[in-house]
Every structure is written in C-alpha cells, then in structure tokens.
C-alpha cells in the first residue's frame, strides 16, 4: 500500500508544480501583452505629435517654447519606450502630457488655429490616444500587480525563484502630472 501512496503523492506534487509554473508563465505573458498594447498606442501618438507641432507652427505667433517642450518630451518618451524603462517612461509621459495639454490650452488664444480642420482632427486623435493609453496603463498595472503577487505567494514563490520569474515595475506617473494644470502658467 505504501509503495502506491508515495509515487501517488510525488505525482500529485509534480502535477501541482507544473500547474504553478504554467500559471506563472501565463501571468508573465499577460504583463508582456499589456505592455505591447501600451507600446502600440505610444507609437501611434509618437507619430501624431509632429503633425500637431507642424500645424501649430503655421501660426507664427504660436508659443515656440510650448512646442519645444512637446518635442523634447516626445523624444524622452520614445527613448524610454525603446529601452522599456518603465519608471523613466512614467516621468517622460508626465512631461509630454503636460506639454500637449499646454498646446491645447494655448490654442484657445488662437481662434484661427482652433478652427483649423487639421488641428481639430489631430486634437481629437491625440485625445483619443491619450484615453486609450490611460485605459491600457490601468490594464498593464493590473497585470503587473497580479504578476508581482503571484511570484510572492507560497508555494508559487518557490517555483518563481527556481525559474527566475521577476517582479515588474508599475507604470506610474509623477505627482506633477497628477496635479491640476496651472492655467495661469500656461498663459503667462
């Protein structure tokens, strides 16, 4: 009887270990998929921003400092995205979102620009992409949270350590981005 119990227990533990490993692999790939979804939207927005800047440049009196901030932040977002440096991306995203918000706020003072069909289309497109990025960021952070919890709980933590599963960073934005926009600064 004991000759059957021991192999049965070993088989159950082996099946359970394989199941945990497969679960951790699924969770890891969910994080990668969530990141890929954000990456697609970031690239689309990256491609739209130069168009917005060019439309704004057509209005000679439009604030060049505001446009330059967007160009610099766009470059930082691109670099962080390429390196998959999530903390740097969060910081660069904060700067970019503030810059784009600045363009839209400053555009209020330029009725001709606001009435420009290209500007309106780009504004709608970028706003839509921003909303998509926010949704995908939430999904990414949920996936990261599930990953990080799963590799810490027992007994999955044993399997996670054995096979090198790692914690992933949350995509967080700076406190400056979370704060309300200071409209006075935009028009000074």
Whether 5 shows a pLDDT value over 60: the answer reads: yes
pTM, two decimals, is 0.75
Q: How is residue 59 written in tokens?
A: 């209005």
Picking from 28, 161, 37, 188, the residue whose alpha carbon sits closest to that of residue 106 is 188
Rg of the chain taking only CA atoms, in angstroms: 23
- Tell me if residue 71 falls in helix, strand or coil: helix
CATH code for the domain of 151: 1.20.1440.20
Domain that holds residue 16: 2-186
Distances (CA, A) of 140 to 3, 29, 50, 160, 174: 48, 11, 27, 20, 17
Note the pLDDT tens digit of each residue in 145-182: 999 999 999 999 999 999 999 999 998 876 544 444 44
- Tell me if residue 70 falls in helix, strand or coil: helix
Q: Say how many CA atoms lie within 13 Å of 163 toward its Cβ.
A: 16
Note the pLDDT tens digit of each residue in 20-42: 999 999 999 999 999 999 999 99
Note the pLDDT tens digit of each residue in 37-88: 999 999 999 899 888 888 887 776 677 788 888 889 999 999 998 898 888 8
Total number of domains in the chain: 1
């Amino acid at each position: 009887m004991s000759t059957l119990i021991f192999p049965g227990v070993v088989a159950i533990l082996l099946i359970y270990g394989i199941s945990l490993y497969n679960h951790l692999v699924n969770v890891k790939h969910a994080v990668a998929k969530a990141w890929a979804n954000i990456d697609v939207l970031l690239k689309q927005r990256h491609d739209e921003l130069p168009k917005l800047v060019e439309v704004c440049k057509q209005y000679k009196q439009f604030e060049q400092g505001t446009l330059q901030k967007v160009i610099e932040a766009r470059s930082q977002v691109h670099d962080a995205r390429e390196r998959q440096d999530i903390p740097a991306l969060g910081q660069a995203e904060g700067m970019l979102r503030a810059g784009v918000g600045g363009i839209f706020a400053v555009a209020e003072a330029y009725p001709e620009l606001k009435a420009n069909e290209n500007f309106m289309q780009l504004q709608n497109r970028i706003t839509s992409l921003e909303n998509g990025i926010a949704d995908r960021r939430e999904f990414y952070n949920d996936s990261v949270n599930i990953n990080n919890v799963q590799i810490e709980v027992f007994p999955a933590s044993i399997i996670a350590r054995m096979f090198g599963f790692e914690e992933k960073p949350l995509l967080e934005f700076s406190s400056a981005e979370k704060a309300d926009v200071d409209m006075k600064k935009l028009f000074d």
